[in-house]
Amino acid sequence: MKITGLDKLLEGISNRQKIDEKVKSVVSRNTSEMKQKAVNYAPVDTGELQRNITEESINSGFTGIVSSNVEYAKAQEYGTRFQTGTPHIGPAFHNQKDKFINDLKNVIKE
């Protein structure tokens, strides 16, 4: 029995692992940047909302989440029938998404 192509297979696996680490780095960096933008966009009264904007990494680092666990965060983001919202998570996402896409494209080009 003879196995051919093993070197190329191992090289491909190694390259895939390098790309995966670069993608995770892009996700992590962009998640942190988006969180900071959300904090900057958040309305400030007591600072509670800003202090509770968090970032989280899931799916082995391939997914980043920016959110707030403050009870009134949704009302601030979307408004209520009594008040207009002061969006902060949505604008941070829209401001960050083009940079994120470009960073991923650069990883693919390498």
Instruction: Copy the structure tokens of residue 75.
Output: 């009302």
Domain chopping of the chain, boundaries: 6-109
Alpha-carbon radius of gyration of the chain: 20
Q: Could you tell me which residue, 10 or 108, shows the higher pLDDT?
A: 108
Q: What is the pTM (predicted TM-score) of this model?
A: 0.84
Q: Return the pLDDT at 10.
A: 63
Judge whether 22 and 110 are in contact, CB under 8 Å.
Answer: yes
Name residue, tokens 């007591």: 46
Which H/E stretch holds residue 54? strand 53-58
Q: Tell me: the pLDDT tens digits for 64-96?
A: 999 999 999 999 999 999 999 999 999 999 999
* Separation CA 88–CA 73 (nearest Å): 9
C-alpha distances in angstroms, 2 versus 7, 10, 12?
13, 16, 20
